[in-house]
Homo-oligomer: A and B are copies of this chain.
Amino acid sequence: MSRDFLLSNVRPNGGPSTMVLVKDGRFAPVDAAPNINSLDVVDGGNALMLPGLVEAHTHLDKTLYGMGWYRNEVGPRLIDKIDNERAMKKELGIDPARQSARQAVLSVGHGTTHIRSHVDVDTDIGLAGIEGVMATREKYRDIVDIEIVAFPQSGVLVRPGTVELMEEALRMGAEVVGGLDPSGIDRDPKGHLDIVFGLAERFARPIDIHLHEAGELGAFALELTVERTKALGMQGKVTLSHAFCLGMQDHLAVGALIDGLREAGIHIMTTGPSSRPAPPVKRLLEAGVVVCSGNDGIRDTWGPYGNGDMLERATFVGQRNNFRRDDELQLALDVCTHGGASVMALQDYGLKPGCSADFVLVDAETVAEAVAAHPPRKLVVKKGRVTARDGRALVAMP
């Protein structure tokens, strides 16, 4: 149960030091406290106060965190990684419930209050991933909100039976329809996207598609996505994750793609990848496109990196986009907070009165310093409850 309290001496978004009232798990105007002298006071120690961090793209079901070091000897192609992963799920015994719980707790320690997780659905693992992450979502519902994307990692058309599993995942409780490289994996961009959009229409759900395809191939898939989004009136409900094609050299072509995204109200998720072409974050924001970010896979069979820290991710987004100025670092933070909140359509997100009291305290002088240095989170609060201190969640990791 949450208790009401006053948080003194904090600097919301780097502004002047002030006092904040948390009442019934939400922010409230300080003069709304009926009996201010009877309230507990928590001293914020002049810390910077940020809204809860939003992890808008990860894979909770398949991190290897806590399972001992996985020696990666996987081949270089995308299909090598997909095939290896399906095999390793059996060989290593990657339990989606346990692993998603570990990563969720890790993320909470870093100040994440909301997670959108893609969860594999395929004819090998079936719905075990969805079930596992749903169990974690329920178990940790008081410390983090989790949204589930039913994600056909191994393709749809190339694996008959996958559509039916996707349907079942959506009935069970996955909120979002996933998709993946419509040319690269299913070898049929029209066919793949028609299925994805068809599921979204029938179940009245948003869409989030992994689009690794770069250059002109990715641009074509992006155009097909724009067409379908407009035709179905799904503006504001479709996200393209990665969208490396937006990092292509031809700036005029990228401009045309961005125009399409804006008209269709399609959101972009970027991790700020250092080894791939990347969407130009500032240009997208200036065009009015919503941009969010995520850590993607954390220490899994795909790669060894990652720790679940969305403030470090803001650093990466900043570095990738050559952000150096303070106003630019603010953009990198926005992507990792409000951008993700928009994509997840969170209704009560932010530091304003009435919003859910989800926030992070950081010892930093300015927002720019918080992004550049990403020091350990001093305090993390979810719905008015303390969930982490000094970089560690208060609940134990399973």
The distance in angstroms between the C-alpha atoms of A272 and B368, with both chains bound, is 22
**Partner pick for A372 among B299, B325, B326, CB 8 A cutoff:** B299
**Partner pick for A68 among B316, B318, B365, CB 8 A cutoff:** B365
**Cβ B299 vs Cβ A305 within 8 A:** no
Considering the complex, give the chain B residue whose CB is closest to the CB of A371: B304
* Given contacts A68-B365, A275-B319, A321-B275, A373 and B307 within 8 Å (CB-CB): yes
Q: In the complex, which residues 332-377 of chain A have their Cβ closer than 8 Å to any Cβ of chain B? A: 365-366, 368-369, 371-373
Can you identify 22 A-B contacts, CB atoms within 8 angstroms?
A69-B366, A71-B326, A71-B366, A72-B324, A72-B326, A72-B368, A73-B326, A73-B327, A74-B324, A74-B325, A272-B274, A274-B274, A274-B320, A275-B319, A275-B322, A303-B324, A304-B324, A304-B326, A304-B371, A305-B319, A305-B372, A307-B373
* Given contacts A71-B326, A272-B274, A305 and B315 within 8 Å (CB-CB): yes
User: Which interface class (under 10, 10 to 19, 20 to 34, 35 or more) fits A?
Assistant: 35 or more
The distance in angstroms between the C-alpha atoms of A324 and B326, with both chains bound, is 32
Q: In the complex, which residues 199-231 of chain A have their Cβ closer than 8 Å to any Cβ of chain B? A: none
Q: In the complex, which residues 277-328 of chain A have their Cβ closer than 8 Å to any Cβ of chain B? A: 299, 302-305, 307, 315-316, 318-322, 324-327
- Which chain B residues lie closer than 8 Å to A315 at the CB level? 305
**Cβ B304 vs Cβ A329 within 8 A:** yes
Q: In whole Å, how far is A364's beta carbon from the nearest beta carbon of chain B?
A: 8
Q: In whole Å, how far is A393's beta carbon from the nearest beta carbon of chain B?
A: 18
- Which chain B residues lie closer than 8 Å to A307 at the CB level? 373
**Cβ A302 vs Cβ B324 within 8 A:** yes
- Which chain B residues lie closer than 8 Å to A368 at the CB level? 69, 71-72, 304
* Given contacts A274-B272, A274-B319, A320-B274, A73 and B373 within 8 Å (CB-CB): no
The distance in angstroms between the C-alpha atoms of A319 and B326, with both chains bound, is 25
Considering the complex, give the chain B residue whose CB is closest to the CB of A68: B365
Considering the complex, give the chain B residue whose CB is closest to the CB of A249: B249
Considering the complex, give the chain B residue whose CB is closest to the CB of A302: B324
* Given contacts A73-B326, A74-B324, A326-B73, A372 and B304 within 8 Å (CB-CB): yes
The distance in angstroms between the C-alpha atoms of A319 and B272, with both chains bound, is 11
The distance in angstroms between the C-alpha atoms of A274 and B275, with both chains bound, is 7
Cβ proximity bits A366-391 to B, threshold 8 Å, 1 near / 0 not? 10110111000000000000000000
**Given known contacts A69-B366, A275-B320, A304-B369, what 4 new A-B pairs fall within 8 Å (CB)?**
A69-B369, A71-B368, A304-B371, A304-B372
The distance in angstroms between the C-alpha atoms of A373 and B325, with both chains bound, is 28
Q: In whole Å, how far is A100's beta carbon from the nearest beta carbon of chain B?
A: 20
